[in-house]
């Protein structure tokens, strides 16, 4: 099975400037889903979708703040973020928010586990550059449009004016819903901005969030974000046509995915003069050819318990769930119990 992605051909010149062979590493483009979990029923509800881009092999991903924090005040509840690399159909993994910029700067840094990057066989990541853009500079935006069948796309366009008062550049890049948070690359193939959105009813009046407003955020990941100016490409200039390339999935991947494991234990009251606490351990083993990348516990019922605590072996072959239960002495007769559903996320053990 192969996945179709629209990208610039390696070595094609964009308005006379060379595009490096690794300028648009589509395997490092991230498809992001954000949702909320009902605290009572534990039912999950997807709230929005967006895009992002991997900036290192440690799992740091830059995206738009309005994707990660979508309607945070209006819709309460525990948030979840899931990321798929290479293609929107790839196995999704959990991500955590590392940091978001303040005020009107529409940039967040999230992170997935290094093991997830390795499992996706990502070889090249995007290079962030924190520099001002030229008023008529030519750029290309990347991202995943809404819709389960839509592949990633690249959309060329121009900066159409100076930096506006909301810290964003106006452009005519036709960003569509779902591309928010995706990278905007310049003629050198460097990421210089983030897709921020479009004016309602005006698809060719869009906004790009320059990356230099998130320089400290990028550097907090341990990556550099050079600010030295390069000669910008000024339009009008002819753009190369779209070219479809194939990004194959990880070779010989077993059918690894999500599985559930139930943990249910009750500690009865004890014939002791004082309350009794005991520690318990449950072992989870990865399926053959797979590695465990995360374990998400969902507590369905608990009383006089602490934990659970999750420990994943470095090689991902197993995980341990530990918790403790406390029960009463002979004159109180209270019990301790825990009832868990463990969501075990696996990826091919490459």
Two structure tokens written together for 220: 């907090």
Return the pLDDT at 27.
Answer: 86
CB count within 10 Å of CB 222 equals: 10
Return the pLDDT at 175.
Answer: 86
Return the pLDDT at 325.
Answer: 86
CA–CA distances in Å: residue 261 to residues 130, 284, 297, 301, 341: 45, 8, 9, 15, 6
Query: DSSP letters along 117-136, please?
Result: HHHTT------B------TT
The tally of CA atoms less than 13 A away on the side-chain side of residue 166 is 11
Residue written as tokens 């093991």? 115
CA distance 294 to 260: 12
Return the pLDDT at 269.
Answer: 62
CA–CA distances in Å: residue 195 to residues 10, 124, 127, 179: 22, 21, 16, 7
CATH code of domain 3-247: 2.40.10.120
Q: Give the max Cα distance, the chain.
A: 86
Return the pLDDT at 203.
Answer: 67
Per-residue pLDDT of the chain (350 residues; tens, 9 = 90+): 332 332 222 222 233 333 332 345 688 999 999 998 887 777 888 899 999 999 999 999 999 999 998 888 888 778 899 999 888 778 889 999 999 988 789 999 999 998 888 888 888 899 999 999 988 899 999 998 887 566 788 888 899 998 887 889 999 988 888 899 999 998 888 899 999 988 777 767 899 999 999 898 999 988 888 886 655 544 433 444 433 333 444 444 456 778 888 888 887 766 666 778 888 888 888 888 888 988 988 877 788 888 889 999 888 888 988 888 888 776 666 778 888 888 898 888 76
Supply the pTM of this predicted model: 0.64
Domain limits of the chain?
A: 3-247, 258-348
Return the pLDDT at 65.
Answer: 93
**Distance of alpha carbon 335 from the chain centroid:** 41
User: Which DSSP category does 261 fall into?
Assistant: E
């Amino acid at each position: 099975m192969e996945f179709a992605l629209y990208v610039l051909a390696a070595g094609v010149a964009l308005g006379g400037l060379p595009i490096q062979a690794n300028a648009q590493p589509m395997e490092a483009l991230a498809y992001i889903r954000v949702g909320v979990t009902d605290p009572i029923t534990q039912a999950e509800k997807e709230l929005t979708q967006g895009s992002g881009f991997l900036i290192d092999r440690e799992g740091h991903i830059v995206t738009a703040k309005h994707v990660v924090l979508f309607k945070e005040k209006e819709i309460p509840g525990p948030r979840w973020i899931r990321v798929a690399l290479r293609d929107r159909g790839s196995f999704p993994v959990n991500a955590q928010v590392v940091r978001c910029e303040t005020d009107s700067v529409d940039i967040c840094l999230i992170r997935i586990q290094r093991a997830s990057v390795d499992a996706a066989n990502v070889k090249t990541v995007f290079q962030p550059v924190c520099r001002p853009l030229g008023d008529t500079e030519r750029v290309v935006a990347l991202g995943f449009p809404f819709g389960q069948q839509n592949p990633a796309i690249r959309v060329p366009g121009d900066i159409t004016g100076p930096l506006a008062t909301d810290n964003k550049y106006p452009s005519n890049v036709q960003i569509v819903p779902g591309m928010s948070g995706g990278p905007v690359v310049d003629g050198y193939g460097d990421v210089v901005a983030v897709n921020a959105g479009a004016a309602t009813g005006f698809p060719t009046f869009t906004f790009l969030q320059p990356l230099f407003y998130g320089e400290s955020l990028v550097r907090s990941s341990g990556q550099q974000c050079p600010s030295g100016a390069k000669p910008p490409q000024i339009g009008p200039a002819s753009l190369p046509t779209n070219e479809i390339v194939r990004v194959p999935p990880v070779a010989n991947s077993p059918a690894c995915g999500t599985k559930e494991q139930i943990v249910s234990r009750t500690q009865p009251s004890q014939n002791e003069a004082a309350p009794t606490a005991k520690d318990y351990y449950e072992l989870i083993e990865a399926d053959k050819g797979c590695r465990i990348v995360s374990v998400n516990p969902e507590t369905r019922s608990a009383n006089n318990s602490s934990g659970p605590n999750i420990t994943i072996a470095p090689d991902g072959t197993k995980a341990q769930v530990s918790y403790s239960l406390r029960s009463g002495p002979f004159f109180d007769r209270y019990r301790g119990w825990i009832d868990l559903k463990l969501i075990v996320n696996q990826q091919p053990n490459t």
